[in-house]
Each structure stands twice: as C-alpha cells, then as structure tokens.
Amino acid sequence: METLWPQIERLLAQVTKPARYIGGELGAQVPVHRPDVAAWLLVYPDTYEIGLPNQGLQILYELLNERPDSVAERSYAPWVDMEEAMRSAGVPFFSLENHLPARAFDILAFNLSAELVYTNVLNLIDLAGVAVRAADRADHDPLVVAGGHCCFNPEPLADFVDCFVLGDGEEAVGEVSQVVAAWKVGGPVPGAPAGADPGSRETLLRALSRLPGVYVPSSYEPAYAPAGDDDPHPGAVRLVGTTPRYPETPALVEKRTITDLGEWPYPRQQLVPLIEVVHDRLNVELFRGCTRGCRFCQAGMITRPVRERPADQVRTMVMDGLDRTGYDEVALTSLSSADYSGIESTVTSIIEDPSCSGQVSVSLPSLRVDAFTVGTAAQIQRVRRTGLTFAPEGGTWRMRQVINKLIREEDLYAAVDAAFSQGWRRVKLYFLIGLPTETDEDTLGIVALARRCVEIGRGYHKGVTVTASVGGFVPKAQTPFQWFGQNTVEELTRKVHLLKDAARGVRGLTVRWHDPKATAVEGIVSRGDRRTGAVIEHVWRHGGTFQEWSEHFDLGRWTAALDAAGMTLEDAVYRHRTEHEVLPWDHLSAGLHRDFLWQDWTDALAAHGLEDCRWTPCYDCGACTGFGVEHVVASAVPPAGGSQGTGQDLSTGGQVPVRFLPTAPSGAAPTPGTGARDPVSAGERRG
C-alpha cells in the first residue's frame, strides 16, 4: 500500500490547522500491515480537536495494535477547507499514521457519540471512495463498523453501516478481527453458515451477526403497517417489528459488558496531541456504569452495572501517565466521578505523591453535587483552580423527582458554598428544559437556583460568576423517557425567553442555551427508525456536514429532507409513543427490561424517586440479573453524601451530608449563605 503523504503535504499550506492531518503524536503507533491481519481505521467523525481525546477510540487503538491478528490506525473528519482541497486534488480520506487511503483498510470503524455527526459518517465513507449505502458495496470493499452510545438505536444508520458493536468494545473488537482476518485469507470463517460461499461479503456479515453484541442490520427485516385507532395518528405507517432474515441470526442482540475494569488498564499510552484539543490533559477512567438512575440519561442506563477500577490501579495509571506525557493535570473520568467509592483518599494520594511535587491538579468531570464535599473541593485543583461545574438538571425539587436526579436545593447550595469557600469564583450549572411534566414554575426555578448560588458566592468574593447552561431535552432509546414526545422548537424557544427575562438584571448570572433547532434535529435521529436513513442521506447530499457546529447547522435542510421522505417533525419527534408501540430498538438490548423502563416512566410521571441500587436492594432492571454480573466497587463504603442509597429521606431530603473543613480560607466570611452548620459534622446524616 502506498502512502498518500506527498499529495497530502502539498495541500497543507492551503488549510487551517495543518497539524490535524500529520499524525506522529506521542503515543501514536505506526503499524506494519500484513495481508493476513485485519486492518482497522478507527474514525472519529468530527474534527481532530474533538476526536483525539476520545478514550474509547484510544483504548481500542492500543488493544488492536497489541493483537497478532489486527493493526489499527486513526483518522478524524477533515475540516471543510481540507475536504475541499482533498476532493479537488483527488486525495481520498486517509489515515494519520501511515497516510494510507481509507479504502486500503479492511474495516472503517466509526465512533458514534452524538447524533449530529451522522451526516459526517456518510461524508467520510464517500470521501474514502466507498459506496455510501451498505447494499451497494462489493465483496472486498471495507467493512463499515460503528460503536459508541448512539448504537443503542442504530436504525437511522442501518442502511450505511455494515455492523454495529453494542456495549463495551474491548473483547468484541478482537472477535471481529478474528472473523475478518480469517475471511480475508480465504480460510474457514468462524460462525459462517454451512455451505456459504467463503469469499462473499454476505458470508462475512452472517458470521459477524453470530458474535455476541454485534448487530448486522442487513440480517434483519423491518416490517411496517398502518397505525391502529389507539395511535394519535391512526393510519400513519408504523414499525411493527424487526426480525431476523436467517435462521442463525439472533432475534435479540444483547450488549457486551466487560466485568472487571481492572483487567483493562487502557489506554496505557495516552496520545499527546500536537495542537490544543478539548480535554487536553491526562484522562484516567475511574469506573463505568452509573446506577443513580437519572431517567433522562442514556449513558447511565446503557452502561449498567457499575464497575470501578481498583484504587491502586487508578494511582498507577495516573503516575505512569503523568510521567510519560508530561501533563500536569489529570481528569479522573466516569459518569459521576465523586461517586467513586474512596474518591477523597484516591485524590489525596495522587496529589500528595512525592513525584507530583505539588504541581499536579486533579479534576473530576461530572461532579454530582450531593457527593461533593469540602474535602473534595479542597483536594481537587489544589494547584490550579478553574471553573467548577454541577448538574442539578431540573429547576425544582418536583422536577428533579420526575427525572430522578434527587438533589435537594440544600445539596446544591452546600456544594456551591463549599466551592466558593475554597476559593472558586466561577461555577457552572447544567440544566435541561423540555422535560416531561415540566411547568413554567419548574423552568423559572432554574433562575431562582442560580440566583441563590450567586448570593452564596457573594458572601465570599465580590466578582463571582454563575453560568446556567440550559439544554433542550431529547428523549433517548433504552431509557424510561423513550416514550416521551419532545418539546417543539417553539416551546423550547419560549422557555429560553422565560429564562432570559427572569435572569435580566441579576448581576453575576449568565444564562446560556443550546439552539432549540439543533435539539429538534437530535430528536429526529435519536428515536428514528430505518426510514430516517433517507433523511440523513438527503441532508448530506445537500451539503449538510458538521451539523454539530452552529456555523454549519441548518434546520431548513432537515425539514426539507423530512418533506422529501414524507415525514414530519410532529410525528417523528414531538409525538408521545404508546406503551405497546414497537420501538426501532426493541430487537437490541442494553440489558434493561422493557417493563422495568415502563414502570420507571410511570414512576416519573408520579414524581416518585428510586434509590441508587449500588447500595440498596436490586430492582431487577435486568442489567446485572440478565448477564450474571454485579456492581464492582473499590470500597465497601458508599460515597460521601447522596440523596440516593445513603439513607436520606427521599421525600423530605433529610440532612445534606456535606463536610466542612475546620478552617476557612483567609479573608473568607464565616458561614454565609446556607445558614449555620456544624463545621465538623464530617459527612454525618441526621435521622
């Protein structure tokens, strides 16, 4: 295979940020390709700056390059200027390591972490010189594979992707490699149907469809029928089932789950980018899964159960990583990092390690306010203090009961107080609008909460800033809210105006919001069925790439595409689904029983909360019971604080379990804001 580097190099002077395209980062590998191994091109379908830090991609990159039957290179979406230069010079999509054409790889594997990148996926397949529709590909064209959270409703991309991997990829990619490598050399293909033509693409796909966690859409047939009278739109054409085409194909594809994160200490050699990227720091994964049970959160639902990395392995990965990369900041990542059992001792042991010499800061993305303590506040970012972010998500306690984010106002105020008391001056709060049962009182509660946080901060510092960042809620597959009809663009826009008006004149408070039009488009894709593929293709063919980027996003392209496909926003996005409606992802399982999700949905409508099952009896959601696995925690002690699972009275909130240090920073007011508290109550709860 011949490198494209000479042709690529000639284009670099014409484009912005040429370093996006050259590779050679610390941690990059330059694999040697062989005819008998499966060659993977791992693609993040957004820019280098967004895609490079992606930990899932980096983990698979290392694992595949360690295997004897595979090699892996990387690529990211070229920005529009580079794409234009490539297309006019006839340079196809290429890899960063050897600068090989994407077509030379056996597998183009896309990471799908957001719906708005789907048009980029089509664009990159096309830029690779591969047929965009899977049905049009020849036997030896690259296999198009996808993984990531969005694969739990893969149907909108079913016409373009040959196979999806559901759940954890660590083990599954090795199994896919084995099948592809065997097929490639014409040997016996594991799992191939008896008597199948060994060299055909169909044989390969049917063999892959027998691997656990691998979904091959061409092996399934969707069926449609006019809706009955119980449907809000009788006569509309609805999906009535998605069934296997072949006897050996499983009727239900279940996700993969690795049971022991301690067996997978990856990435061992995190990539250090050549230019500034998002999350530009060492990242070490603390745990996978989350059982807090926030009903809007797809990531929490589909990654159950909780699997914590052993604390000593976390420390080793941090120390080795800092030493190797030269970073002076490490993020301990997960869906809710303060929930890691023993978080304070882990953070302290990193910061106090002699090799860090007081120069390393630790950040905990996704902080849960009711597990945030002054002790944590004091430890994290002891070296460098940037902004702190909390996500109460709902503006009132009622709203937070509906979404099962059981954070009392006192929880939030105490956490914010803790942060300001330790010297922070900037706090960011994340909220959702357009949630089920939301009233204007709930929406306006956002400003009330944020305003109070400003007041608390003023007790410590003059120039505090609180930013309320507001996103529109998009119902996601495999969650209790999968049946909910999303708010319209107009309704979300009205709510944004309510918030802007209420926040006007509040010094120190800024409200930021996500474009409601982009929220509507996410909704088209997040719960779309296979017919949505025509919409995505139409948008792409009419120039709609980089739809995550506001300068390239255009709702008009999407509504025109819906029109062309005979679909409407009302039906695709804003419509409530009924209990027995067949959903496009019903033949795929994230482990959660459908009846558990429906029960949780009815509990939501009754504003009834559920405790964290990590520390309470199991509700039999299916994620552990169906797979013979269970939560793995690094410590037997629940995390500090918490409305859920730590005995707090869910109806009244109980005592806020925030720890206060005995000393306040110099110049700080004694106990402003949240009222007098016992300064040494150290995480204890009252009755």
Shortest approach of ligand SF4 to residue 252 CB, angstroms?
17
**What does the block give as tokens for 636?**
């037997």
What's 167's DSSP letter? B
Answer yes or no: are the C-beta atoms of 145 and 107 closer than 8 Å.
yes
Shortest approach of ligand SF4 to residue 632 CB, angstroms?
11
CB of 626 or CB of 672, closer to ligand SF4: 626
CB of 437 or CB of 625, closer to ligand SF4: 625
CB of 411 or CB of 612, closer to ligand SF4: 612
Contacts of 366 (CB under 8 A, 6+ apart): 333, 334, 335, 336, 337, 391
Shortest approach of ligand SF4 to residue 610 CB, angstroms?
9
Distance of CA 239 to the CA centre of its chain: 27
Q: Rounded to an integer, what distance in angstroms lies between the CA atom of residue 47 and that of residue 418?
A: 37
Shortest approach of ligand SF4 to residue 257 CB, angstroms?
11
The neighbouring-strand residues paired with 495 are none
Answer yes or no: are the C-beta atoms of 657 and 374 closer than 8 Å.
no
CB of 515 or CB of 630, closer to ligand SF4: 630
Shortest approach of ligand SF4 to residue 597 CB, angstroms?
11
Closest by CA position to 155, among listed 239, 213, 234: 239
Answer yes or no: are the C-beta atoms of 645 and 612 closer than 8 Å.
yes
3-state DSSP helix/strand/coil percent for the chain, to nearest 5? Answer: 35, 15, 50
CB of 46 or CB of 612, closer to ligand SF4: 612
What's 115's DSSP letter? G
Answer yes or no: are the C-beta atoms of 332 and 300 closer than 8 Å.
no
User: Count of CB atoms within 10 A of residue 109's CB?
Assistant: 26
Report the SS3 class of residue 11.
Answer: helix
Answer yes or no: are the C-beta atoms of 57 and 44 closer than 8 Å.
yes
CB of 298 or CB of 443, closer to ligand SF4: 298
Shortest approach of ligand SF4 to residue 167 CB, angstroms?
14
Shortest approach of ligand SF4 to residue 324 CB, angstroms?
35
CB of 195 or CB of 628, closer to ligand SF4: 628
CA angle 410, 287, 615 (to 5 degrees): 55
CB of 107 or CB of 623, closer to ligand SF4: 623
Give helix 532-541 / helix 555-564 axis angle, nearest 10°: 130
Strand residues in 553-671 grouped as ranges (E): 588-589
Report the SS3 class of residue 20.
Answer: helix
CB of 312 or CB of 620, closer to ligand SF4: 620
Terminal Cα-to-Cα distance of the chain (whole angstroms): 70
Q: Rounded to an integer, what distance in angstroms lies between the CA atom of residue 249 and that of residue 216?
A: 9
Shortest approach of ligand SF4 to residue 255 CB, angstroms?
13
Q: Rounded to an integer, what distance in angstroms lies between the CA atom of residue 591 and that of residue 304?
A: 8
Answer yes or no: are the C-beta atoms of 412 and 453 closer than 8 Å.
yes
CB of 206 or CB of 307, closer to ligand SF4: 307
Shortest approach of ligand SF4 to residue 253 CB, angstroms?
19
Which residues contact ligand SF4 by CB under 6 A? 291, 304-305, 613, 618-625
Shortest approach of ligand SF4 to residue 613 CB, angstroms?
3
Shortest approach of ligand SF4 to residue 515 CB, angstroms?
34
Shortest approach of ligand SF4 to residue 633 CB, angstroms?
12
* Sign, CA torsion 110/112/115/116: negative
Q: Rounded to an integer, what distance in angstroms lies between the CA atom of residue 609 and that of residue 523?
A: 26
Shortest approach of ligand SF4 to residue 236 CB, angstroms?
34
User: Count of CB atoms within 10 A of residue 247's CB?
Assistant: 6
**What does the block give as tokens for 519?**
């929220």
CB of 501 or CB of 620, closer to ligand SF4: 620
CB of 261 or CB of 656, closer to ligand SF4: 261
CB of 201 or CB of 295, closer to ligand SF4: 295
Q: Rounded to an integer, what distance in angstroms lies between the CA atom of residue 654 and that of residue 646?
A: 11
